Structure 1
Amino acid sequence: MKKKLLSVLLTTVLVTTMFTGCGNSKTSSDKTKAGGTVKTESTSDTKEGKKVNIYCWNDEFKSRYEAYAKDLAEKHGVEVNFVIVANENNAYQNNLDTALQAQESAAADDKVDLFLVEADYASKYTKSEYALDVVGDVGLTKEDLAGQYQYTKDIVTVDGVQKGTTWQATPGLFAYRRSIAKKVLGTDDPTQVQAALSDWSKFDGVATKMKDAGFKMLSGYDDSYRAFSNNVSKPWVDGTKIVVDDNIMNWVKQTKDYTDKGYNNKTTLWAPEWSADQGPDGKVFGFFYSTWGINFTLLGNSLSDAKGKQEVGNGIYGDYAVCEGPQAYYWGGTWLCAAKGSDNLPFIKDLMYRLTCDSKTMKQITLDTQDYTNNQAAMEEIAKSDYKSDFLGGQNHIALFAEAAKKIDMSNISDYDQGLNEAFQQSMHEYFEGNVDEKTALDNFYTSAMEKYPELTK
């Protein structure tokens, strides 16, 4: 996810203390059931600490808390501290690991209470002792969690125990420039554009047309990677052996071809040149983005005046649309994990319920932010409504996300996904740039992978 850290200029630990309140051990949480929303009182004999420490890598979750759940601090009589460490060079995980390892001996006010993880490394924590069972330990019920997309639960479930929960579902789509589609394809209609891009062979054919018309199909080497890596036939590791799936090699073949033929701009993910290709001066047809990318990254990059109003006339706001693209995929996501040793489980339970289970809250988050939230009923309701995104030229992109979410397959995830995906992409950059041949790039990948994970073999 998401690598959303790059939109937040946080390079050091930021501790923010806010919302001190005076409450008692009896708290209420909103529960939405068939027939309407009712208030239910949750009581606990557990003595709560006075400070809740939440570890994360940017301020996205902090903004969700402030907008939709800050009243819970007053109800529980706690202070909420956000410990934010930007995840450059693995800084976030390193800082979190240090804090969790010191959890048992830490003073009450210094303990980690809640920490956030991304899909690529979630299993590192859910398979450890540090993440608690959200049902057996925290107190959410199976009924509370029933409305969530199954894959979001599968990612953080170990031996039948769910050890995290999220407010997001992150299916991916292909975001394209309407103006370029009209010039090259003769239409910007999402249904017709999807027909032209419905499989990789057609996608390659459109890439040729884009080049002939003076445009680039994609910005750089990494753009289509997730659409291939999320559709592999087996995990990265079989026993201890590293397995490079055929579909990963299909990405290599396509990207080398696009690079040699001038179908891309030879950029890398998150580089300034990549971001610029999404803006007013960009000549790139489209970008693979999941839910958070549309409203969190692409919108910002589209503006000519970042501080100006988000409206038509500011850069290319309104010139993008989305379609499913050649393959279903997902990208990113942020999960909340309750830390073993926390003395604030009643607060954590209510916070998790409010932000990841309550359908009314989930629907409002989507309406307010265009984020795609983790409640099937709420998303289906918006998908069938007259909801429109001004940024996407009046399109109801939630309807497309709702269909894409049903196709997400998590059966081939592994504990090594983050490290091996990053190492593979980095090694292949040298091949795409013509500095090494494919065999050498693969050998360099294996070397890098086994240095990072000594237990693995080629």
Structure 2
Amino acid sequence: MLLTASMLTLAACGNSSANSSKSSTKGKTLQVWTFTTDMKKIINNYYKPMHKNLDYKIKITVVPFENFQTKLDPVLGTKNGPDLIALDASFVKKYVDSGKMADLSQVGIKSASANTTNYVKQVGQDAKGHQVALSWQATPGAYYYRASLAKKYLGVTTPEQMQAKVDTAADFTKTAQEVNQKSNGKIFMTSSISDLFEPMIGARKTPWVVNNKLKIDKSMLDLMDMSKQFVSGKLTQDTTEQSSEYFSGMSSNNIMGYSLPSWGLFYWLQPNAKSSKTGNNTAGDWRVVKGPWSYSWGGTYLGAVKNSPMEHEAAKIAKWVATNPKFQTKWAKDQNDFVSNQTVVKKITPQFTSKFLGGQNQYKQFAESAKDIDGKLLTKYDQTIQKAFVDNALTPYSQGKISKAAALKAFKDTVQNAFPDITVK
């Protein structure tokens, strides 16, 4: 009788626990905050159709990029905050190192991410090595160039020949001068100095802050000199990144190429290849090469908020989006996005050709570029420090408005004011 009673008691406890677990999410709402509408597409078109038995609702709030952190910071970790957040690479480390992100090991992230591109995992790990964020994307950068212009002014007819012309920074500069000379100054190698900045910032050897001290990698000094040479020598059109002039160059015939990440192909280049004003269409005339630098630019990372009401469910979504091969295969084919699962990349790479790139296989190029990217370069200070570098040092120096010494001093002073606790020398 005692044994029977004990078994009944245990069964009752077991049923109670199971019911409690089942009802813990039933009828609740999982809050997702994102700066990109891609998350709506992923949740509504991929996650929900593949998880039809969810007993909770998912509410997705899209906050404009420029307002995202301002709105998120005061409520992160409170009852008014989200359970799942999408974080851009420019500020992901701020949240990864905040102590407010849930350890994704609770949903088996280590084994699930065994085939994830290494640098993507590095970016989402906190100081203790816990995986608190992860991305379904890898975002290797490249140099996209106009095939017809390369043939006319450089005698180049294949991507392999073009790569040889831009294999190092010195080669890139020499080729830019050749383009300028042979076109009588009509063709610019780049639209903006951002076409130098974005790759070189990702190709540094040293992070901006090490042991709480500001570090200026030698490549940043080289970037200043190279940018000044490009501006003064009229090797660049010297537009501002993402300005109307910057985008209009994608449909004109005066820009040889752009340094862009994998997502730049379908978010920026393809939509702007045709001009509504002139009717000119450059689609099919673009090609892509690695260029002088291995770098990453952008990317969206997902993480669950620690102690939020739906923390565990949010962690499961983050894991699924960032590691599920079925989803990533479909996403890659539907969006032409370059994904982070290396097994998926290897499997689908032979299937890719791009009409926009004249039949070139961009996936093959991106797969090679992604191998050399160092995710440990990112710090929580990057967004502020890099803006300070561009505004106070790179731009005014490249335009000849200030000396190099004065530019670096202005940069250091701005960093010191922004981060009094960092040692700046």
Please say if 1:264 is aligned against 2:236: yes
Selected match of 1:147 from 87, 110, 115? 115
**1:7 aligned residue:** none
| Residue 254 (structure 1) aligned with residue 220 (structure 2) | no
The 5 Å alignment of 1:190-269 reads 190-212=159-181, 213=183, 214-269=186-241
Corresponding position: 1:132 with 2:102? yes
Contact 1:362/1:375 (<8 A) preserved: yes
Matches of 1:54 and 1:73, distance apart in 2: 17
* 8 Å CA contact 1:72, 1:351 repeated in 2: no
Q: Cα RMSD between the aligned structures? A: 2.1
Q: Counterpart of 1:200 in structure 2: which amino acid?
A: A
- Say whether residues 1:330 and 2:307 are aligned partners: no
SS at 1:174's partner residue? strand
Q: Is the 8 A contact 2:232 2:399 kept in 1?
A: no
Deviations 1:157-191 (A, max 9, x none): 12121001211011111111111111112234111
The equivalences for 1:237-386 within 5 A come to 237-278=209-250, 280-305=251-276, 315-345=281-311, 347-383=313-349, 385-386=350-351
- Please tell me whether Structure 1 or Structure 2 has the larger radius of gyration of its CA atoms: 2
Asked if the contact 1:140/1:349 (under 8 Å) is kept, the reply is: no
Cross-structure match for 2:58? 80
Deviations 1:338-365 (A, max 9, x none): 0123333454344234322111221111
Distance in 1 separating the partners of 2:411 and 2:52:
51
* Change beyond 3 A, Cα 1:455–1:408: same
Counterparts of residues 29-68 of structure 1 (less than 5 Å): 45=22, 47-48=24-25, 50-68=28-46
2:74 maps to 1:98: yes
Match of 2:24, as an amino acid? Answer: K
For this pair of structures, how many residues does the alignment match?
398
Q: CA deviation at 1:314?
A: 7.1
Identity of aligned residues (%): 28
State the Cα distance separating 1:372 from its structure 2 match: 0.2
Unaligned runs of 5+ in 2: 1-19
Query: Structure 1: which 5+ residue stretches go unaligned?
Result: 1-42, 307-312
* C-alpha distance in 2 between matches for 1:152 and 1:222: 23
Residue correspondence of structure 1 range 425-436 to structure 2 within 5 A: 425-427=390-392, 428-436=394-402
The answer to whether the 8 A contact 1:68-1:355 is kept is no
Task: State the secondary structure of the residue aligned to 2:53.
Answer: helix
Deviations 1:126-171 (A, max 9, x none): 12232101112xx134221112111111111121210012110111
C-alpha displacement of 1:447:
1.8
Which has the larger strand fraction? 1
Check 1:188–1:368 CA distance in 2 against 1; reply closer, same or farther (3 A cut).
farther
> Which has more helix, going by share of residues?
2
Instruction: Tell me the amino acid that sits aligned with residue 328 of structure 1.
Output: S
Please list, as runs of the form range in 1=range in 2, the aligned pairs for 1:114-129 lying within 5 A after superposition: 114-129=84-99
Task: Name the aligned partner's letter for residue 276 of structure 1.
Answer: S
Taking a change above 3 Å as real, the CA distance of residues 44 and 71 of structure 1, as seen in their structure-2 partners, is: farther
1:455 paired with 2:417, answer no
